């Protein structure tokens, strides 16, 4: 089975975010970047499918130079090779623009299965996989926790809201967006890290894919959220803060 | 192009609250643009539901009816709506941001060369007369992004649960007219076969009826640290719950998960320990009577909904709080 996993590099979730002077985006200079969490689960699912059925796992990404580190991490975990679309202006493209880049690159490989995380931690659009399916003319399913192969294609377990699930059968090739938690993530081994250095990372240019970059939807500016409630912050040492909270729980919330 | 179409979602023959909120969002757009709002109901045999929707402040209700729409499929719904949009050519399409909408709306928008503005929490007026602007959360709720639509086709917007007040969709007018639209769908065009929905493992923990909940998130770092929070829950006489990553890692069973994919709770006290407060978690607990947050990051979104907050290291604060509660109980 030939599997493409579309991955995204996102700012570390614990970072302190500062809006940049243009108010169009955030200051990136001091940020650490990491593999988007649900994409890590998509990669894990792909690696497990390969272990069961054989084949190849190809990591596909789009982004600026710093994405190289995230690609190496994916290769160290066991992906066979990578394709990156060098793209410095990712932020000015909308979800369709990014998906068009990924679709153009994926098409050249004719995969049996295309996986991606259900949502990115930075923009949270949750659309890339579904748009990829549309652009490639493939069936898709979202929020997938488990993938099984059948004689005619796939049987997948889809998460619904409030603790419900459903199974979906579909032919391949197909696109799935993977929910976190379906598998246990692996760590890269020392051997894996060593091997990753020799694996192929093919660089494509956004321009050579012939994709129109004009966005339909634009991020006009970034702002700080309004607070919904006025939070009373209890100051002091841990002991003082704990004592203050116990007072509140006793006399105001009345649960002690 | 004119008009605002709001897609109303039914589940098990019921219309969920988020769909009324979507109508309220449609009303907000109507107030800014002067366009009329119509409601769309997709399915098979939806007469009774259509009557319910027609009592809301909408100009008309369009039933998109087909036997192949009885069960949701992405292919069926996208195809049906695509045909409806060709007929209606609306300026705006507003949808509730549900798992179902997330599954088909991005494909439908892309088919028309458009992009869904997903998970919108606010709709405002632009400084100039350039049309409405849409607010979405970025960086897991730490920042907001203000988005504009500049495509030539319809503007697709999905709205977050709880973001628009449902009262704005309350009826005051005479019932709206109901029309039926029959799309052309062939069985072969639907490529996926969904099963009936089923429940996960049997629920032995009913967090929904718990009065006191101590909930733990990523900040706990390791499974080995969980007893710290368990001790606090025990001292308080509270149920232990968790945010998704804790259950994803298998540190606590899925049935203890609070949030959009887990349980929805509304206890007297919800004490969130090391939970940053991504929206998927907040929707499951923001109805709690009192929310207390312990987190090292003063900018964590959990503080936007908390009544009381302590900013600091949970590994120092939680034992101190457990001791203080035990002392108060003695």
pLDDT in tens, A133-142: 999 999 999 9
Q: What is the average pLDDT across A184-208?
A: 95
Residues B115, A219: C-beta atoms closer than 8 Å: no
Give how far Cα B321 sits from Cα of A101, A233, B273, Å: 52, 15, 11
Q: Supply B178's token pair.
A: 């109901």
- Of A141-150, B86-95, B193-202, the one with minimum mean pLDDT is B193-202
Interface of B with A in 269-308 (CB under 8 A): 269, 276, 289-290, 292-293, 297-299, 301, 303-308
pLDDT digits (tens, 9 = 90+) for A151-182: 999 999 999 987 889 999 999 999 999 999 99
CB proximity A231 to B under 8 Å = yes
Average pLDDT over residues B26-39: 95
DSSP A150: -
Q: Which residues pair with B95 in a beta bridge?
A: B158
Asked if residue A161 and residue A237 are part of one domain, the reply reads no
Q: Is residue A101 part of a domain?
A: yes
For testing contact with chain A, the best of B192, B314, B315, B325 (most A CBs within 10 A):
B192
> How large is the average pLDDT for residues B265-284?
94
Angle subtended at Cα B310 by Cα B307 and Cα B315, rounded to the nearest 5 degrees: 135
Task: Collect all residues of chain A within an 8 Å Cβ-Cβ radius of residue B139.
Answer: 11, 13, 17, 26, 121-122
**Reported confidence tier of residue B203, pLDDT bands at 50, 70, 90:** low
Q: Are residues A56 and A128 in the same domain?
A: yes
What is the average per-residue pLDDT within A170-196? 96
Calculate mean pLDDT across residues A45-65: 97
Can you give the pLDDT at residue B202?
65
Q: Are both A141 and A93 inside the same structural domain?
A: yes
Domain check: are A118 and A24 in the same one? yes
CATH number of the domain at B207-329, please? 3.40.50.1220
Q: Looking at residue B27, what is its pLDDT?
A: 95
Does the residue A25 lie in any domain? Answer: yes
Chain A residues with beta carbon closer than 8 angstroms to that of B250 = 184
For residues A184 and A243, state if they share a domain: no
User: Which pLDDT score, from 0 to 100, does residue B172 have?
Assistant: 65
Nearest-Cα residue of chain A relative to residue B316: A238
pLDDT average, residue stretch B250-259? 92
Residue B129 burial by Cβ neighbours in a 10 Å radius (0-12, 13-18, 19+): exposed
Q: Span B238-251, mean pLDDT?
A: 94
Q: Is A16 on the interface with B (CB under 8 A)?
A: yes
Annotation: CATH topology of B4-189:
Rossmann fold (3.40.50)
Selecting from A134, A222, A232 the residue whose C-beta is nearest the C-beta of B111 gives A134
Under the banding of pLDDT at 50, 70 and 90, the label for residue A227 is confident
Q: Is residue A247 part of a domain?
A: yes
Do both A24 and A115 map to the same domain? yes
Taking the model in full, what pTM does it have? 0.93
Mean pLDDT (whole number) for A75-95 = 94
Q: Which residues of A touch B106 (CB under 8 A)?
A: 95, 126-127, 130-131, 134
Cα B298 to Cα B301: distance, rounded to the nearest angstrom:
9
User: In chain A, which residue's Cα lies nearest the Cα of B305?
Assistant: A229
**Residue at A220 is within a domain:** no
**Same domain, yes or no, for A193 and A104?**
yes
Task: Test A131 with B309 for CB contact under 8 angstroms.
Answer: no
Q: Same structural domain for residues A153 and A34?
A: yes
Residue A169 lies in a domain: yes
Cα A36 to Cα A41, A43, B94, B152: the distances in Å are 9, 11, 28, 32
CATH of the domain at A87: 3.40.50.620
| Position A48 in a domain | yes
- B260 near A CB under 8 A: yes
Q: Minimal Cα distance from B306: which residue of A?
A: A231
Confidence of residue B166 (pLDDT cuts 50, 70, 90): confident
- Work out the average pLDDT over B190-209: 86
Q: Structural domain boundaries of chain B?
A: 4-189, 207-329
Instruction: Give the model's pLDDT for residue B132.
Output: 94
Would A218 be classed as within a structural domain? no
Q: What total of structural domains would you count in chain A?
A: 2
Residues with Cβ within 8 Å of B236's Cβ and at least 6 positions away in sequence, in order, are: A255, A256, B212, B214, B269, B271, B325
Residues A62 and A143 in one domain: yes
Collect all residues of chain A within an 8 Å Cβ-Cβ radius of residue B269: 249, 253, 255
Over range B267-284, report the average pLDDT.
94
Q: Which two tokens stand for residue B59?
A: 């100009």
The DSSP code sequence of B228-257 is HHHHHHHHHT-EEEE-HHHHHTTSS-GGGB
Query: Is residue B127 predicted with pLDDT exceeding 70?
Result: no
Query: Is the residue at A118 inside a domain?
Result: yes
Instruction: Output the pLDDT for position B180.
Output: 97
pLDDT at A91: 84
Judge whether A116 is closer than 8 Å to chain B, CB to CB. no
Instruction: Indicate yes or no: CB of B139 within 8 angstroms of CB of A26.
Output: yes
Q: Give the residue-averaged pLDDT of A43-66.
A: 97
**Average pLDDT of chain B to the nearest whole number:** 93
Domain match, A98 and A197 both: yes
Residue B160: which of A132, A125, A158 has the closest Cα? A125
pLDDT reported for residue A90: 85
Residues A146 and A39 both lie in one domain: yes
Give me the pLDDT at residue B23, please: 96
Report, as an integer, the average pLDDT of B35-48. 95
Torsional class of A4: left (φ above 0), alpha (ψ -120 to 50), beta (otherwise): beta
For residue B111, list chain A residues with Cβ-Cβ distance below 8 A. 134
Which residue in the set A159, A161, A250 is minimally distant from B98, CB to CB?
Answer: A161
- Say yes or no to pLDDT of A195 above 80: yes
Measured distance CA(A229)–CA(B236) in Å, rounded: 25
Segment B9-34 shows an average pLDDT of 93
- Answer whether B4-189 and B207-329 agree in fold: yes
The mean pLDDT value for B255-259 works out to: 92
Mark yes or no for CB contact A217/B150 under 8 Å: yes
Q: Pick the residue with more confidence: A161 or B111? A: B111
- Chain A: residue nearest B118 by CA? A125
Q: CA–CA separation, B309 vs B296, rounded Å?
A: 10
Question: Is residue B273 predicted with pLDDT exceeding 90?
Answer: yes
Mean pLDDT over all residues of chain A? 94
Q: What is the pLDDT of residue B131?
A: 85
Q: Which B-chain residues 183-212 have CB contacts (< 8 A) with chain A? A: 191-200, 203, 211-212
Domain ranges, residue A250: 231-256
Determine how many CB atoms are found less than 10 A away from the CB of residue B71.
16
Same domain, A184 and A251: no
**A166:B195 CB<8 A:** yes
To the nearest whole percent, how much of chain A has pLDDT over 90? 87
Q: Does A23 touch chain B (CB under 8 A)?
A: no
Smallest Cα distance from B188 to chain A, Å: 12
């Amino acid at each position: 089975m030939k599997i493409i996993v579309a991955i995204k590099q996102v700012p570390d979730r614990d970072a302190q975010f500062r809006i940049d002077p243009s108010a169009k985006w955030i200051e990136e200079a001091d940020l650490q970047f990491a593999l988007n969490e649900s994409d890590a689960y998509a990669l894990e699912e792909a690696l497990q499918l390969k272990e069961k059925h054989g084949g190849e796992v190809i990591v596909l990404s789009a982004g600026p130079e710093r994405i190289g580190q995230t690609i190496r991490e994916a290769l160290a975990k066991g992906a066979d090779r990578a394709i990156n679309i060098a793209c410095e202006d990712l932020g000015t493209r909308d979800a369709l623009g990014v998906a068009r880049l990924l679709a153009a690159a994926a098409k050249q490989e004719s995969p049996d299965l295309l996986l991606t995380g259900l949502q990115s931690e930075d923009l949270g659009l949750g659309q890339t996989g579904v748009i990829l399916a549309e652009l490639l003319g493939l069936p898709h399913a979202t929020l997938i926790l488990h993938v099984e192969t059948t004689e005619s294609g796939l049987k997948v377990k889809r998460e619904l809201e409030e603790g419900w699930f459903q199974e979906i059968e579909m032919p391949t090739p197909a696109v799935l967006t993977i929910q976190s938690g379906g598998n246990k993530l692996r760590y890269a081994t020392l051997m894996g890290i060593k091997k990753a250095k020799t694996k192929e990372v093919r660089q494509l240019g956004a321009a050579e894919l012939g994709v129109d970059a004009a966005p339909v939807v634009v991020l006009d500016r970034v702002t700080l959220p309004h607070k919904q409630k006025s939070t009373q912050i209890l100051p002091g040492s841990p002991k003082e803060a704990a004592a203050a909270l116990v007072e509140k729980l006793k006399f105001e919330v009345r649960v002690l | 192009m004119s008009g605002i179409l709001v897609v109303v979602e039914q589940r098990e023959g019921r219309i969920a609250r988020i769909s009324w909120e979507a109508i309220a969002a449609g009303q907000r757009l109507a107030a800014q643009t002067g366009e009329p709002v119509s409601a769309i109901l997709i399915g098979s045999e939806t007469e009774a539901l259509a009557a319910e929707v027609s009592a809301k402040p909408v100009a008309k209700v369009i039933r998109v009816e087909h036997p192949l729409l009885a069960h949701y499929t992405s292919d069926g719904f996208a195809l049906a709506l695509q045909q409806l949009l060709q007929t209606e050519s609306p300026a705006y399409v507003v949808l509730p941001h549900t798992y179902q909408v997330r599954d088909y709306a991005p494909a439908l928008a892309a088919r028309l060369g458009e992009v869904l503005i997903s998970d919108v929490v606010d709709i405002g007026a632009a400084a100039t007369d350039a049309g409405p602007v849409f607010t979405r959360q970025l960086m897991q709720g730490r920042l907001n992004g203000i988005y504009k639509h500049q495509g030539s086709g319809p503007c697709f917007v999905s709205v977050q649960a709880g973001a628009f007040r449902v009262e704005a969709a309350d009826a005051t007018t005479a019932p709206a007219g109901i029309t039926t639209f029959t799309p052309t769908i062939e069985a072969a065009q639907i490529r996926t076969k969904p099963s009936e929905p089923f429940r996960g493992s049997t629920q032995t923990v009913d967090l929904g009826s718990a009065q006191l909940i101590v909930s733990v998130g990523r900040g706990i770092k390791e499974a080995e640290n969980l007893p710290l929070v368990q001790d606090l829950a025990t001292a308080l006489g509270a149920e232990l719950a968790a945010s998704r990553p804790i259950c994803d890692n298998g540190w606590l069973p899925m049935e203890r998960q609070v949030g959009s994919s887990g349980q929805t709770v509304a206890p007297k006290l919800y004490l969130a320990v090391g939970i940053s407060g991504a929206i998927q978690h907040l929707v499951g607990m923001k109805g709690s009577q009192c929310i207390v947050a312990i987190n090292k990051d003063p900018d964590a979104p959990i503080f936007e909904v908390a009544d009381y907050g302590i900013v600091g290291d949970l590994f120092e604060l939680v034992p101190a709080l457990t001791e203080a509660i035990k002392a108060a109980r003695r």
